[in-house]
Structure 1
């Protein structure tokens, strides 16, 4: 009977233990699934947040750069700005996508481990916390170093990118002058600077690893020594000491991962410092301000005692007390030696720069008081080296035109610029995609002239716009420009910067500039009779073509 009772008790105990085991196993499986689901949701949320962050950051940075004054782009290189938009923004994406995610997870894990350590044994927990504090101090110093190193790395990377962009865009010049090794040397110098920074970062990482391992093993030694003494004194059991060492491992490794991710975070912060500075730039005052819109722009332009110098070169005066009046529908040619200030006058008229002193009047109103967007819509401008966008020819001609136009208008403008014939011969006609190899310099200028004509502007500015044209094309384009003031459509004021005699002779008035001053003014024949600077320039050109 006693034997049967013992068997029943044993079976009952085994049955009870099995039930508890199964229940605990179910709880563990449930916790495992919950942990996996939470981890997946957390990773997905951080990944989505990362995508949104990078998108908005690039949009904000590009928008900020796009609305800066032209003087800003005089001091910043294209390679540096594109590097900020590309690699720097991508570097920042690690902040949310990985670093903050892992830091949050390990902080929670480390905090839980520390709380349980204090529950097990507060004296041992204090010793472990002291070591973790030393480790945290090392992390802070290491993170600050990584931040500075990352900032330098991004600067050197941007400079290296600038070298490659400049070299590839001027590859024909490099090849003709045989400077491949020189350009390679420039690039290698920036790579050497990057390698030096990487070497120092590697040494710093080694010191960080040495500090961690030393403090980590110190924790184990202290836990065994102090824990062993506590066991002998009867304060804790061997089971508690085992648990303590296990959770101590969790705390130390959580601290390690926090430190590692924090160093990566500081690298991202260092890389993003200039990005955020650029994002914080205020838009140009021209973008923010809203000025007047005249009912009709006649094209009466006055330069009143205008002086100008670049902010970076205050002692170099580009224009000095210039006074000039251009009347409505007048064709004015501006000539002079290189660097005399001809193009600067145009830049001031377009409000790409502001005069240092004096003012520009448009139809009697200060240019500063006019709505700049509206004013520029009334201007057709063709520069010395017209750059076309990588889009089809038709879109390049339509570019920036705000009025309603159709394909017939585009083709009419192209015919007036004598560009229709060669455009029609392209593989896809007006739908041909433009690239640098497809068109010659003269063809690009004719497309740019067609773009200006399509706007039907009140003021037409040609800054050496016929420099790349052959003699026949130049003659045809000048004929169209003369016809534009003959009453067929609305008349317009035309400003021409040119050196060719044929273009100058077609002007109503010639303005001669030298060293930022207007030295002569009159018609072509009047200035020849004065035997001044204009006459000398004309004679030199005639001798050059003789």
Structure 2
């Protein structure tokens, strides 16, 4: 008996070990699959989803699923086998008593299913509310300086408490449902004992069953009831995991963006001829508000074209369409005479350098940030050359670990981050260079130096780059070959600096206003 018990413990231990390994593999693959699916979505997908929600799905939701194989399925399988064996033995001992016990267990199973379905819905709401609470906290922590300056600590606390109260409300109802489940179990459990004693006593008096068999029956019926209870309890946990992971599986089933599925054209060489042909665009979430309307623009290879205009005029949207972060609603964009939609997007982006107004750097060393996304072999000498061109080498060298310094938000100023981003763009040796307010955070001297670098960036190479510059500081783009003035999503003026001043339109007014502001 002792040997049999030891064997049972070893078998259960091995089973638990195997389930634990399977659980580890499952969660690892789930997170990899989910992360891969999210990375391959269109930019519009991330416009509608919050960072806090997505990171919550990757973190707590996937971990919640780990309970399925690591614990719940393990115990459900064990107790289901034990309960089935106990039921078969009860029917062999006395099928009338066995049927009575089976009816009670069936009632318990029905209550268990109702409770499990409720737990599934409650778990889904819990994960949604938790993700929303995480998003509020993430926003407050990332904008802590703004919170501190405006003294809105209590406001942020109230926003967070709102979601915590919703979570508490769900937890309260879950506790009430669990109490109902336990009350049902205890009632049916004691009912089984009463029925077994009353009916069994009658059978003993009638000579249909012996006292020994009745004792065995009571013991095995308790085993069956407790196995049913354990199955129900773990099934409710399983339903919680299913409810929590429902959003995870929906995200995992998302198809990748067409940009990553379709195999486009790869030209022998990107010359840099860009044409916007009757391009219109509106964001899907704001279909009634056009951002661009019938834009026609040609940019010739090697030209420096500046795009200016009031805020909201569509300047950055034009660049986003060129980068194919969005697709035009109407019209098309031609690159060297080929529709942008037909080109291999990865090949095309490898040949573009882009510097945004607020460049984001990764939490890695500065050298890796400058190398980021460059597919050709890069030496440290190349990295330092690019940094020198962007006037970043001196301040990088003055840091404690030089190019090996890990980037931190408090370590670098906005202008320093922009210079690292410019060095990254220069290192790519791009055929098309896009600068979206790329010098906005630079001091006057650095801006003057970098303007010269960007203007003659192709001097060390056999080809000259096509450069598109978006700028609010009109002093930075006066030497551009062509200046495009936008307003209300349309091009209203075009020419060089002198021609636009002579037209005395919007560009001339903006130039005078900035000159007055400086004076």
TM-score interval for Structure 1 and Structure 2 normalised by the shorter chain = over 0.9
Match of residue 360 from structure 1: 333
Alpha-carbon distance between aligned partners in 1 of 2:460 and 2:121, rounded to the nearest angstrom: 66
Given the superposition, is the C-alpha separation of residues 488 and 112 from structure 1 closer, same or farther in structure 2, using an over 3 Å criterion? closer
Match of residue 393 from structure 2: 420
Match of residue 179 from structure 2: 206
Which residues of 2 match residues 77-156 of structure 1 at below 5 A?
Answer: 77-156=50-129
* Match for residue 470 of structure 2 among 494, 497, 500: 497
**Structure 1 position 329 matched with structure 2 position 302:** yes
> 1:540, CA displacement in angstroms?
1.2
Match of residue 383 from structure 1: 356
Larger Rg over CA atoms: 1
Match of residue 376 from structure 2: 403
What is the CA deviation profile of residues 140-189 of structure 1, one whole-angstrom value per residue up to 9, with x for unaligned ones?
10000000000000000000000010000000000000000000000000
> 1:501, CA displacement in angstroms?
2.3
Match of residue 130 from structure 2: 157
* Match for residue 311 of structure 1 among 257, 262, 284: 284
Alpha-carbon distance between aligned partners in 2 of 1:471 and 1:107, rounded to the nearest angstrom: 76
Alpha-carbon distance between aligned partners in 2 of 1:501 and 1:420, rounded to the nearest angstrom: 27
**Structure 1 position 458 matched with structure 2 position 431:** yes
Alpha-carbon distance between aligned partners in 2 of 1:247 and 1:29, rounded to the nearest angstrom: 20
Match of residue 506 from structure 2: 533
Alpha-carbon distance between aligned partners in 1 of 2:196 and 2:487, rounded to the nearest angstrom: 86
CA contact (8 A) 1:336 1:342 kept: yes
Q: Helix, strand or coil for the counterpart of 1:292?
A: coil
Report the more deviating stretch, 196-205 or 483-492: 483-492
Structure 2 unpaired stretches of 5+: none
CA contact (8 A) 1:484 1:490 kept: no
Match of residue 516 from structure 1: 489
Q: Helix, strand or coil for the counterpart of 1:511?
A: strand
Alpha-carbon distance between aligned partners in 1 of 2:403 and 2:462, rounded to the nearest angstrom: 25
**Structure 1 position 285 matched with structure 2 position 258:** yes
> 1:216, CA displacement in angstroms?
0.6
Match of residue 515 from structure 2: 542
> 1:376, CA displacement in angstroms?
0.3
**Structure 1 position 261 matched with structure 2 position 195:** no
Match of residue 441 from structure 2: 468
Match of residue 4 from structure 2: 31
Q: Helix, strand or coil for the counterpart of 2:165?
A: helix
Alpha-carbon distance between aligned partners in 1 of 2:235 and 2:148, rounded to the nearest angstrom: 47
> 1:134, CA displacement in angstroms?
0.6
Alpha-carbon distance between aligned partners in 2 of 1:313 and 1:112, rounded to the nearest angstrom: 62
Match of residue 350 from structure 1: 323
Alpha-carbon distance between aligned partners in 1 of 2:494 and 2:326, rounded to the nearest angstrom: 25
> 1:487, CA displacement in angstroms?
6.4
* Match for residue 273 of structure 2 among 300, 320, 323: 300
> 1:29, CA displacement in angstroms?
2.3
**Structure 1 position 174 matched with structure 2 position 158:** no
Q: Helix, strand or coil for the counterpart of 1:436?
A: coil
Match of residue 340 from structure 1: 313
> 1:32, CA displacement in angstroms?
1.2
What is the CA deviation profile of residues 371-425 of structure 1, one whole-angstrom value per residue up to 9, with x for unaligned ones?
1000001100001100000000000000000111100000000000000000000
Q: Helix, strand or coil for the counterpart of 1:335?
A: strand
Match of residue 10 from structure 1: none
> 1:485, CA displacement in angstroms?
4.2
TM-score for the superposition, normalised by structure 1: 0.94
Match of residue 242 from structure 1: 215
Q: Helix, strand or coil for the counterpart of 2:11?
A: helix
**Structure 1 position 185 matched with structure 2 position 132:** no
Q: Helix, strand or coil for the counterpart of 1:360?
A: strand
TM-score for the superposition, normalised by structure 2: 0.99
Alpha-carbon distance between aligned partners in 2 of 1:382 and 1:303, rounded to the nearest angstrom: 21
Q: Helix, strand or coil for the counterpart of 1:312?
A: helix
Alpha-carbon distance between aligned partners in 2 of 1:62 and 1:498, rounded to the nearest angstrom: 35
Q: Helix, strand or coil for the counterpart of 1:496?
A: strand
Which residues of 2 match residues 68-79 of structure 1 at below 5 A?
Answer: 68-79=41-52
**Structure 1 position 435 matched with structure 2 position 408:** yes
Alpha-carbon distance between aligned partners in 2 of 1:406 and 1:485, rounded to the nearest angstrom: 20
Which residues of 2 match residues 37-76 of structure 1 at below 5 A?
Answer: 37-76=10-49
What is the CA deviation profile of residues 27-46 of structure 1, one whole-angstrom value per residue up to 9, with x for unaligned ones?
x1221121011011100000
Structure 1 unpaired stretches of 5+: 1-27
Given the superposition, is the C-alpha separation of residues 514 and 230 from structure 1 closer, same or farther in structure 2, using an over 3 Å criterion? same
Alpha-carbon distance between aligned partners in 1 of 2:291 and 2:394, rounded to the nearest angstrom: 41
CA contact (8 A) 1:54 1:93 kept: yes
Q: Helix, strand or coil for the counterpart of 2:284?
A: coil
Moved over 2 A (4+): 485-490
Report the more deviating stretch, 529-538 or 48-57: 529-538
What is the CA deviation profile of residues 267-316 of structure 1, one whole-angstrom value per residue up to 9, with x for unaligned ones?
00000000000000011110111111111111000000000011111101
